[in-house]
Structure 1
Amino acid sequence: MDLRQLEYFVAVAEERNFTRAAERVHISQSGVSAQIRALERELGATLIDRSTRTATLTVAGKAALEHARAALAATGALAQAVGEVTGLMRGQVTVGMVVGCTVTPLFDALASFHRAHPGVELSLSENNSDTLLDAVRAGTIDLALVGTATSPAGLDMLTLVSERLVATVPAGHRLATLDPITLRDVCSEPLVCMPPGTGLRTVFDNCCTAKGLAPTPEIQAGAADAIADLARRGLGVAILSESMAADYPDLVSRTIDDADAPALLALVWRDANRPAVRQLLNHCRRAFTPSAGS
């Protein structure tokens, strides 16, 4: 029994098809089939039912699958641990980031990590915060920069930014001089907001619900630039965070007095035991808190 046989077995079990499994492991279908038959002969049991077009696991195959995955994971962890010690870290880290959020310290962290560990392949994926959180929980993304209203269940979190919601309007708008501005004032106007599933929208909706309000935004956009431009053109009051609004000095931004819950920008992860993930987290901490590296 060798690790290639276990890898091919797991690929067929997960793909449920010999052709797709062969494409996944980059060898011929006949090679995959031969290696799995050799594994079955060694174990003395049939693992894959080949009687239909879909490759399904036998009872023995189901019993073997968990152990095969564990053996492959242990081998990967061994290679990573040795790589960390020798400075030759290998593998892949997938990083998620909220759509339309250009966060320079994150890019600095990715660049410094790449220089320190060029053998690790970095992959960056953009999506809304709810989707990214689900992906981190599922293990398809290792580390994500998300907007959130609270600490997400089942994940570790490092808060990078905590700030209030603001209403952003052109200088001539009635809210530009109203003092104070409340959620009821804001909700009486057409609104331009982030879409559901984003951290900023979740915070806004939660604050409104707490006050018995149920606004329906006129327009939704996924990027702060688009939201600000729509507000600039008089299409609605933009709901942004303080740091987002600071990028648009031609607009007036007013803190919403009774929107008490802060909008959080945070790094989230599920498993920092992998050396590459742990090292990337260290680079992120240094990038977002420069004094920590001095």
Structure 2
Amino acid sequence: MLELTLMELRQLEYFLAITEEGGFTRAAARAHVAQPGVSVQIRRLERELGQELFDRTGRTIRLTQAGEALLPYARAALRAIDDGRLAVDELAGLLRGRVTVGMLTATPADNLIDLLADFHTAHPRVEVSLREDTSDNLVEGLITGTIDLAWVSTAGRTPDGLTGVVVTDEPLVAVVIPDDPLATRASLPLAALADRVLGSLPPGTGLRAALEQSCATAGFTPRIGFEASAPEVLVKLAARGMGVAVVPAPVAALHPTTTRHIPLTDPEPRGRIELAWRAEGPLSPPAQALITAARRAPTPGHTTHPQASAIAGAHE
């Protein structure tokens, strides 16, 4: 086991900064110190360990095998120090620290803004960072610890290594123009779309994964002819005859005059949104407090309009 107690915390902070920023210069800027100072501290750390932590031979800085081995311990050590300080502050009624929140690309953000603003008012000493991305990237950030909690779109089950609560679970439907041969169908087996051009969100999104997994179960690979980062854009493209859009039912219901939407079966593809966080390892007090607040708040993107009670653009 690595003797982390022999290392200065500052060296571990620099090591982590270089890893996350991808270079010594950016790490120095993040730490607000001169770049030579960072290099000196990393050399001392490498001498202490007897191993080089970074491969400096290429154009980009990469972790060596020893660096990869050290990384989870460095994160754990720094997180433990931060959590200890935060626990003491919490006992004194002074919650402070930093929390990073992930949100889906193209999600209407009014409710999320309200949530974060209210949290800031309640805990002004906590720095809140917001990251917008696709579900795959947000899940990776949660697992690696660069994100504390996030709203992610999943294809039927919580990703390994995470836990959370389901906040929406909606069927996907086929959206076609009114004179399409499918428009009069009351429901549609998914295999009926095998030869049709489909519109979907891009790869890396929860809805795309849900569609591809369901099509695989039905025995075919979907022909994706057009993509957009927001489901409503897919509906509008389908309304212009581009093909069949596959989107959440509440989104399709927003356009009843220009399109028809048909429930899909055998299997029924579904998209769901979860508020997720790491299943293992301690959560910082700020992250725990924000998770508690988020579970009580409306889902980001929700609206009270009866035709749009689900998240119109939050299924990345």
- TM interval, short-chain normalised: 0.7 to 0.9
Q: Given the alignment of the two structures, is residue 176 of structure 1 paired with residue 197 of structure 2, yes or no?
A: no
The offset of 1:234, in angstroms, is: 0.9
- Structure 1 position 144, deviation (Å): 1.4
Q: Structure 1: how far apart are the matches of 2:208 and 2:223?
A: 12
- 1:205-220 equivalences under 5 Å are 205-220=212-227
- Larger radius of gyration, structure 1 or 2? 1
Structure 2 unaligned residues grouped into runs of 5+: 300-316
Whether 1:126 and 2:136 are equivalent positions in the alignment is no
* Equivalent position of 1:28 in the other structure: 34
Name the SS for the 2:188 alignment partner: coil
Query: Which moved further from structure 2: 253-262 or 92-101?
Result: 253-262
Q: Is the 8 A contact 2:14 2:38 kept in 1?
A: no
Q: Which residues in structure 2 correspond to 1:1-294 (within 5 Å)?
A: 5-8=8-11, 10-12=13-15, 15=18, 21-29=27-35, 71-102=77-108, 104-149=110-155, 150-250=157-257, 251-270=259-278, 273-288=283-298
TM-score if structure 2 supplies the norm length? 0.74
Q: How many residues align?
A: 281
**Structure 1's 147 and 12: CA in aligned 2 closer, same or farther, altered over 3 A?**
closer
Distance of aligned partners of 1:188 and 1:92 in 2 relative to their CA distance in 1, 3 Å threshold: same
- Taking only the aligned residue pairs, the percentage that are identical comes to 40
| Mean CA deviation greater in 201-210 or 165-174 | 165-174
Q: Distance in 1 between matches of 2:62 and 2:184?
A: 68
Deviation at 1:141, TM superposition (A): 1.3
Point out the structure with the larger helix share: 1
Question: Do 1:48 and 1:56's aligned partners in 2 also have CA atoms closer than 8 Å?
Answer: no
Q: Give 3-state SS (helix, strand or coil) of 2:222's partner.
A: coil
1:217 counterpart SS class = strand
RMSD (Å) for aligned C-alpha atoms = 3.7
Moved beyond 6 Å, runs of 4+? 33-37, 46-49, 52-57, 61-68
Residue ranges of structure 1 left out of the alignment (5+ in a row): 290-294
* Shift in alpha-carbon separation, 1:4–1:91, aligned structure 2, 3 A: farther
Q: CA deviation at 1:46?
A: 8.3
**How many angstroms does 1:218 deviate by?**
1.0
